Homo-oligomer: A and B are copies of this chain.
Amino acid sequence: MGRKRLQEPADGRPTVHTVAARAGVSIASASRVLNGIGGSPETIRKVRAAAAEVGYVPNAIARSLQSQRTGLVALAVEDIGNPVYVEMMRAIESVVASSGRQLLVHATGGRIDNETALLRRLANRYVDGMIVSPIRVTDDHLTALVDSPVPVVVVGQLGADAPVDNVRTDSRHGVALAVDHLVASGRRRIGFVNGPLDTVPGTARDAGFRAALARHDIRLDEDLIEVGDFQYAAGRAATERLLARTDPDALVCANDLIAVGALHALLAAGRRVPQDVAVVGMDDTELARMMFPQLSSVSLGSAARGRRAAELLLQRIADPTVPPRREQVPPSLAIRASSGPPLPAPRPAAPATTHPTSEGVTA
């Protein structure tokens, strides 16, 4: 015959047993009252009183073990400091929090083994679901995504038609918007400062840039393309290399951090922006509006994608049987001072120092 279960835990913290004993009822009754299910008025009163007296708080872990739900949602991105992920995270946190859940963040550093390890670790059920925005994808990675034991939503381009919830944008089209705008403004020697080509966004944007130039019958000068990291310092260095060998009249940058780096490189090299060189960033983060001159930037709807991804994830957690969905957020171009007004609409009064709070014209 097994020994009777201890009523009081060693560390003195109250449990249902404590409350039940104090109220003079069974733990079942105590549990029911505490969860608001049934109970006679008298029982309810006694249990509530006992709970209040001992300061009872239900143990989240035990509850999770029982319910098979942790109430946690994870987010894995390359760098939680990059403004584009900050915006995404903010939107996700908001959705997650208002569903009564909590957000867990992982910085993967873009290392793919890191990310797959994270995905495999999902098998231990420490979270109810995960949002991941991979910048590099391998087959291994993909299978880890597909046969994840908990719901996963991918933000970003995903090869082929993997059966995974996916919120994407069309960054090729995004680059096209930037190029079209610059061409329309009379720019012809358009440079491109990209991120690493072994990343999904890097290749997509490269392809988009080449396609856009071709569409405008502009011969591609490889000297005008430079590659670095998706960071400020790398963007600045890449732009310096580019300027050392050629002379662009416009620069498309693969994200806003790179664009800021490019801006600094240009100004340090004595180029005026936008008079000598127009600059267009990408992601349209808060940073773009904070720069001087304010940066034109292609919005890829980071906040919207984050919000949508969170919503999809919560839906799938509620009902895991829904078929995989794929949603797309269209890019849009915000034109600001760094690329000047488009040629077709010459504005005589347009000052070089555009009013900083003026929202960009969306094309």
Contact A102 B106 (CB under 8 A): yes
Contact of A236 among B123, B264, B356 (CB under 8 A): B356
Query: Which residues of chain A from 75 to 122 have any CB-CB distance to chain B below 8 Å in the complex?
Result: 80-81, 86-87, 89-90, 93-94, 97, 102-107, 120
Binding stretch for chain B, among A34-42, A56-64, A245-253? A56-64
Nearest B residue to A351 via CB reads B268
With A and B bound together, what is the CA distance between A263 and B290 in angstroms? 9
Interface string of A209-237 (1 = CB under 8 A from B): 00000000000000000000000110010
With A and B bound together, what is the CA distance between A200 and B353 in angstroms? 36
Contact B267 A353 (CB under 8 A): yes
Contact A104 B356 (CB under 8 A): no
A342 to chain B: closest CB distance in Å?
A: 23
Contact of A61 among B13, B94, B126, B267 (CB under 8 A): B126
Contact A72 B291 (CB under 8 A): no
Contact A93 B65 (CB under 8 A): no
Nearest B residue to A70 via CB reads B61
- Please give the number of chain A residues whose Cβ is less than 8 angstroms from any Cβ of chain B in the complex: 54
Q: Which residues of B contact A290 (CB under 8 A)?
A: 232, 260, 264, 287, 291
Q: Which residues of B contact A268 (CB under 8 A)?
A: 353, 355-356
A125 to chain B: closest CB distance in Å?
A: 6
Q: Which residues of B contact A105 (CB under 8 A)?
A: 89, 93, 103-105
Interface string of A133-161 (1 = CB under 8 A from B): 00000000000000001000000000000
A-B contact pairs, 10 of them (CB 8 A): A61-B70, A80-B86, A80-B89, A81-B87, A81-B90, A89-B105, A94-B107, A102-B104, A103-B105, A267-B353
> Using a CB–CB distance below 8 Å, which chain A residues touch chain B?
13, 55, 57-65, 70-72, 74, 80-81, 86-87, 89-90, 93-94, 97, 102-107, 120, 123-126, 149, 232-233, 236, 260, 263-265, 267-268, 286-287, 290-292, 353, 355-357
